[in-house]
């Protein structure tokens, strides 16, 4: 099925650990993004990419890294997890004026 | 900078009735897109409806329609004949160009409760 595949769905990390959230889309979308969703704050943009090899920071980039080596994949790396990074993370992709297609989200808890 | 404001944190509607969710935005651009997304308890984000700013006609999708007032920078969502399955968080979103790059901006959401 065409869409955005996001893994894992749930993850518990200890403070200081690192991990990578995976995101892949098979719709040949140029635009991909990572958001975090916290209660009462909507979705906040972490990083985004307008094509392979091109990434840029969003509203809350600190503590996260991204890369875009292919059109399909856009992984998000947490460098040293902190409790403040406990959140639900969404990957999304789109093409020009079409709305986002979202992944199913990752619930991350940092203890 | 562009902003999106949803001033109603929570709304309730009786089943089969009509409800309108409000959204205002701020931008200096003339070419942009507006969206409403639904997030049910499953957490999946679902595109409900979209509106191109250059189109004067309001978008409709079955029971969902928008009232797009470009001059007032208002983009409300009307849900007719509300159903229990409409209960969800609803997010208004703006997509426009900033420094040559498209950026999406989301509002903080409105939680819709549907009463049987």
Chain A residues whose CB is inside 8 A of the B43 CB are 88, 104-105, 107
Rounded CA separation B107/B37 (Å): 10
The pLDDT score that the predictor gives to residue B100 is 72
Q: CA–CA separation, A71 vs A55, rounded Å?
A: 12
**CA angle (B98 as vertex; B94, B99 as ends), nearest 5:** 170
Query: Tens of pLDDT along B21-61?
Result: 999 999 988 889 999 999 999 999 999 999 999 888 899 99
> What would the pLDDT profile of A25-78 be if each residue is shown by its tens digit?
999 999 999 999 998 788 999 999 999 999 999 989 999 999 999 999 999 999
Chain B contact present for A50, CB below 8 A = yes
Q: Which among A81, A105, A80 has a CA at the least distance from the CA of A91?
A: A105
Please state, in angstroms and rounded to a whole number, the distance separating the CA atoms of residues B51 and B93: 10
From the list B33, B44, B105, which residue is nearest A97 (CB)?
A: B33
pLDDT per position as a tens digit, B90-106: 999 999 887 777 788 99
Q: Kindly state whether B37 is in contact with chain A, defined as any CB-CB distance less than 8 angstroms.
A: yes
B111 vs A: CB within 8 A: no
> Measured between CA atoms, how close is A40 to chain B, in angstroms?
6
Shortest Cα distance, chain B CAs vs residue A70, angstroms:
19
- Measured CA angle at B76 (ends B11, B72), to 5 deg: 130
Percent of chain B at pLDDT exceeding 70: 100
Please state, rounded to an integer, the average pLDDT across all residues of chain B.
93
Query: At residue A84, what are phi and psi to the nearest 5 degrees?
Result: -65, -10
Contact across the interface for B104 and A33, Cβ inside 8 Å? yes
Q: What is the pLDDT of residue A97?
A: 64
Residue A79 to residue A63: CA distance in whole angstroms = 6
| Residues of chain B with C-beta less than 8 angstroms from the C-beta of A31 | 102
- For residue A89, pLDDT over 80 is answered with yes
- Confidence class for position A1, pLDDT limits 50, 70, 90: low
Contact A100 B43 (CB under 8 A): no
Q: What is the CA radius of gyration of chain A?
A: 13
Q: What is the pLDDT of residue A29?
A: 93
B52·A97 Cβ contact <8 A: yes
């Amino acid at each position: 099925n065409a869409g955005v595949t996001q893994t894992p769905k749930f993850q518990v990390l200890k403070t200081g650990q690192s991990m990578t959230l995976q995101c892949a889309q098979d719709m040949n979308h140029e635009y991909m993004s990572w958001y975090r969703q916290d209660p009462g704050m909507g979705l906040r943009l972490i990083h985004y990419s307008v094509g392979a090899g091109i990434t840029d920071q969003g509203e809350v980039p600190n503590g996260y890294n991204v890369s875009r080596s292919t059109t399909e994949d856009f992984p998000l790396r947490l460098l040293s997890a902190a409790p403040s990074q406990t959140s639900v993370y969404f990957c999304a992709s789109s093409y020009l004026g079409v709305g986002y297609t979202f992944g199913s989200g990752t619930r991350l808890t940092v203890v | 900078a562009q902003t999106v404001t949803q001033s109603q944190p929570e709304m309730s509607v009786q089943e089969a009735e009509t409800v309108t969710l409000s959204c205002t935005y701020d931008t200096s651009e003339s070419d942009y897109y507006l969206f409403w997304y639904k997030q049910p308890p499953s957490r999946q984000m679902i595109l409900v409806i979209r509106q191109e700013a250059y189109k004067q006609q309001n978008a409709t999708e079955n029971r969902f329609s928008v009232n797009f007032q470009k001059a007032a920078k208002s983009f409300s969502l009307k849900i007719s004949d509300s159903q229990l399955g409409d209960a969800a968080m609803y997010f208004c979103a703006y997509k426009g160009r900033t420094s040559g790059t498209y950026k999406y901006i989301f509002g903080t959401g409105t939680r819709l409760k549907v009463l049987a």
